[in-house]
Structure 1
Amino acid sequence: MHNRWIVLIAGLIMQTILGGIYAWSTLTPWLAESYGISNGESGFVFGLSIAVFTLVMVYSGHLLARKGPRIPALIGALLYLAGYFLASRSHGSFPLLLLAVGVIAGSGIGFAYVVPLSVGMQWFPRQKGLITGLSVGGFGGGAIILSSCIEAGKLSGISLDRFFLFYSLISGSLLFFASLLLSSPPASTGKELGEMQVHQNVKKPMLLSILGMFSGTFAGLLLVGNLAPYALSKGLVEEMTVLSVVLFSVGNLSGRIIWGHIFDKTGYRVIPWSLLLASLFYMLLRFASGGFVFLASVLVLGFLFGSQFVLYAGYLSRAYGVEAFSKRYPLVFLSYGLAGIIAPGVGGWIADSTGSYNPAITLCLVLLFISGLVLFTANRKH
């Protein structure tokens, strides 16, 4: 059944393009230079796109179940193209840029994101962990390619308007044609490999997951949404700022794949430790005085950020069983959207107000430490 490999490849192409949103901070200096967009405004564009993405994803999952994979994927492709095409016509208008990238392109991500993940697991029912890791890993790794393209575009002297135009046409076309290659298997390829035991306290896993995911993604999104200007403020040259974005993306990509295997071996108890470890590396980042420590911390923090999209999915599937997972996980995933709309803009606003990103990084490490302690205490009953 080579058809399933075509579906898998098409899905990975889609996820890689959609994951380019994590390269947004690489655009922040270019936005400031071309349009006069502030750090805070740029962060809010990124944050709104994440929030809209998570909200739309809830509806897209229902549409996928009713209409199959192609319709939501095609809608996502067209919205993504339209959003960045409109951005090419913004000419520095912040409200228009917010609408174009934050709302329209963000909606495109939301419609398309869930499709390769769900369809891939249908075609590969015995390798669900691997397929999930590859799918979310492709999303996490998209920034590696786009950040390099952004840097190349800026060095070439092309205008930002023209860059947005080319990006909208190329990425939108690839998403459109990849969407046409998606399909569901003709029949169910197998049942779940056993049902998980349902947690006796039905609210507790949800509350713990919401707290953990919000804290972990708040810190990660604040960092990646402001990473390039933060690196510049630390004295890194511009080429090193691009490297920092790439390293975060490499960590994010590898983390999304590796953490699933770690959770299979350890279960819930690894979750609080991931938060506490992240708190430690935000402290190292906060006080980093050299490029090596800064870049190494960014790499590890990207790896830990990637865990957020694997650990809580595994925890909830064990706590509630597979049937209830599809209804509960999107609700937990909304905490990622809430973090998205708050964290990047708050990070930029703090930097604009205080002249430094360090207070924002301190906020992240405190939030992670407190959340890690709460989840660690709850771990005694797991």
Structure 2
Amino acid sequence: MTWRALLTSGLVCFCAGGLYGWSALIAPLQAAYGVSTAQTGLVFSLAIASFTLAVILTPQLPWQTSTPRVVACFGLLGAACVFAAVRAQGYVPFLLWFSGGFGAASGGIYIAALGVAALTPAHRIATPAMVAAFGTGSAVFGPVWRVMDAYGVGMGGLSMLAAGLLMSSTCAAFAAAPAISEKAQPPAGSSAAHPSESHSRKDLVVIWAVFAFGSFGGLMVLGLASKMMDAAQTSLTLASFGLAGIAIGNTSGRLSVAFLSSHLRLEQCLFLAMAMTLYGLLSAAFPAGPAMLCVALILIATGYGIVASTVPVVTRSVFGAAGFQKRFSFIFTAWGVAGFFAPWAGGAMFDASDSFRLPLLISALAAVFCCLMTWQLGRQMAQSDT
């Protein structure tokens, strides 16, 4: 049954999202292995690289990967890697098991689960919900690990993640894959059903640019929000509320696409996201105070969440269910490029100028360029429908 495939795949995807709650384990890792801050940063950097590589390579496997059972296989692999990371006797083995093993398994879970959602007739609801499930995992596991560390659990908190992956993957292994119904496929005479090579390549390039430039400001904020608040001398209480608001905004933005896409065209969803992002970026560059800065950062995170869910929905709408995974695995590299450059460039420009104003303004220019690409995407989608 379709609902069972979505529910079980979503549960595994939720657990895989624990990868992005990693920052809560920095202190326990330092206590366990005596490593530097730079070495803890390397854990997440390598995990992102493994994640992105798995997203790219999974659709190239010589079998159908848009099934709950494939999600379950990656989930069981992830559980084994996390258990091994908990028992690692040194920093390097931990790095290999967590960043290399679990990072790759998490990427495989993500793209396979999105493939399951893309097969369903209600993909415009199922896809944002799956993306939101992954984001919710990071918002839940991070705070829980922080509390567990306060009670002296330390790196043992990862065992909870491994157990969650094991149980949810066992459930997914017994769920049947949803069949591609007629409603889930593009009309036989449409360009999405038989796109020309040049048309397909042009759509890929435009969607890639939308994802890269639309994610830039959000990824900078997610990576440097705490530093921005410190630079603005935000109080501890306000900063805590601000960081919680960023997590909620990011997750709710992802989930809101299920509602927005039923009332707006997909390019209009992207324009709404960029309007929120631009307003937030400009407000953060010239804040009226710490409270206004927090509000601005929450707006940026919400806009980023909308982009993160809308882009896979656009990809599915343009290329159909059968072509979704391979096309989105390429488009996802845009997120990897933005994820590498945005926090790094923002931090470097702050070090040079002792201000976040310049990187925020550059992010605003990226959002403007995203709007231009979104306008072009809307034209191409309209031409495909005629």
- TM-score normalised over the length of structure 2: 0.79
Cα distance between partner residues in 2 of 1:351 and 1:369:
22
Aligned length: 370
1:60-71 equivalence runs, <5 A: 60-63=58-61, 65=64, 69-71=68-70
Contact 1:209 1:332 in 2 (8 A): yes
Contact 2:206 2:376 in 1 (8 A): no
Which residue of structure 2 lines up, in the alignment, with residue 181 of structure 1?
Answer: 171
Q: Amino acid of the residue matched to residue 368 of structure 2?
A: F
Specify every segment of 5 or more residues in structure 2 that has no aligned partner in the other structure, as ranges. none
Cα distance between partner residues in 1 of 2:235 and 2:294:
12
Which residue of structure 1 lines up, in the alignment, with residue 101 of structure 2?
Answer: 104
1:165–1:351 distance in 2 versus 1, CA, 3 Å: farther
Contact 1:22 1:224 in 2 (8 A): no
1:187–1:224 distance in 2 versus 1, CA, 3 Å: closer
1:23-172 equivalence runs, <5 A: 23-25=21-23, 37-38=36-37, 45-63=43-61, 65=64, 69-79=68-78, 82=81, 86=85, 89=88, 99-120=96-117, 125-156=120-151, 158=152, 163-167=154-158, 169-172=159-162
Q: Amino acid of the residue matched to residue 118 of structure 1?
A: G
Cα distance between partner residues in 1 of 2:325 and 2:117:
15
Deviation at 1:83, TM superposition (A): 5.0
SS of the equivalent of 2:200 reads: coil
1:85–1:194 distance in 2 versus 1, CA, 3 Å: closer
Cα distance between partner residues in 1 of 2:348 and 2:84:
27
Deviation at 1:236, TM superposition (A): 2.5
Contact 1:268 1:379 in 2 (8 A): yes
Cα distance between partner residues in 1 of 2:290 and 2:83:
33
Cα distance between partner residues in 2 of 1:316 and 1:216:
15
Q: Amino acid of the residue matched to residue 106 of structure 1?
A: G
Cα distance between partner residues in 2 of 1:31 and 1:155:
14
Map Cα deviations across residues 217-237 of structure 1 (whole Å, 9 max, x no partner): 232222212223332332233
1:174–1:212 distance in 2 versus 1, CA, 3 Å: same
SS of the equivalent of 2:183 reads: coil
Map Cα deviations across residues 163-190 of structure 1 (whole Å, 9 max, x no partner): 23322x1101110121111145377363
Cα distance between partner residues in 2 of 1:12 and 1:209:
25
Deviation at 1:130, TM superposition (A): 2.1
Deviation at 1:332, TM superposition (A): 0.5
Cα distance between partner residues in 2 of 1:364 and 1:29:
31
SS of the equivalent of 2:85 reads: helix
Cα distance between partner residues in 1 of 2:109 and 2:304:
22
Deviation at 1:28, TM superposition (A): 6.2
Map Cα deviations across residues 121-143 of structure 1 (whole Å, 9 max, x no partner): 65xx3332222222111111223
- More displaced stretch, 108-117 vs 174-183: 108-117
Which residue of structure 1 lines up, in the alignment, with residue 360 of structure 2?
Answer: 361
Q: Amino acid of the residue matched to residue 226 of structure 1?
A: L
1:78–1:187 distance in 2 versus 1, CA, 3 Å: closer
- More displaced stretch, 180-189 vs 206-215: 180-189
Contact 1:53 1:106 in 2 (8 A): yes
1:294–1:141 distance in 2 versus 1, CA, 3 Å: farther
Contact 1:6 1:181 in 2 (8 A): no
Q: Amino acid of the residue matched to residue 366 of structure 1?
A: L
- More displaced stretch, 73-82 vs 209-218: 73-82
Cα distance between partner residues in 2 of 1:205 and 1:353:
38
Q: Amino acid of the residue matched to residue 225 of structure 2?
A: L
Contact 2:74 2:106 in 1 (8 A): no
Contact 2:114 2:131 in 1 (8 A): yes
1:225–1:100 distance in 2 versus 1, CA, 3 Å: farther
Cα distance between partner residues in 2 of 1:30 and 1:166:
10
Q: Amino acid of the residue matched to residue 126 of structure 2?
A: I
Identity over the aligned pairs, expressed in percent? 19
Q: Amino acid of the residue matched to residue 169 of structure 2?
A: S
Relative contact order higher in (CA < 8 Å, ≥ 6 apart): 1
Deviation at 1:211, TM superposition (A): 0.9
1:190-339 equivalence runs, <5 A: 190-193=181-184, 195=186, 197-198=190-191, 201-264=199-262, 265-339=264-338
Contact 1:78 1:172 in 2 (8 A): no
Q: Amino acid of the residue matched to residue 303 of structure 1?
A: T
Contact 2:221 2:301 in 1 (8 A): no
Contact 2:270 2:310 in 1 (8 A): yes
Q: Amino acid of the residue matched to residue 293 of structure 1?
A: M
Cα distance between partner residues in 2 of 1:380 and 1:67:
30
Deviation at 1:368, TM superposition (A): 1.8
1:345–1:172 distance in 2 versus 1, CA, 3 Å: farther
- More displaced stretch, 129-138 vs 189-198: 189-198
Contact 1:85 1:164 in 2 (8 A): no
Map Cα deviations across residues 306-364 of structure 1 (whole Å, 9 max, x no partner): 12233222333333333333321211112112223333344444445554444433332
Contact 1:22 1:225 in 2 (8 A): no
- TM-score normalised over the length of structure 1: 0.80
1:223–1:15 distance in 2 versus 1, CA, 3 Å: same
Map Cα deviations across residues 6-38 of structure 1 (whole Å, 9 max, x no partner): 544433332222223333455668878995744
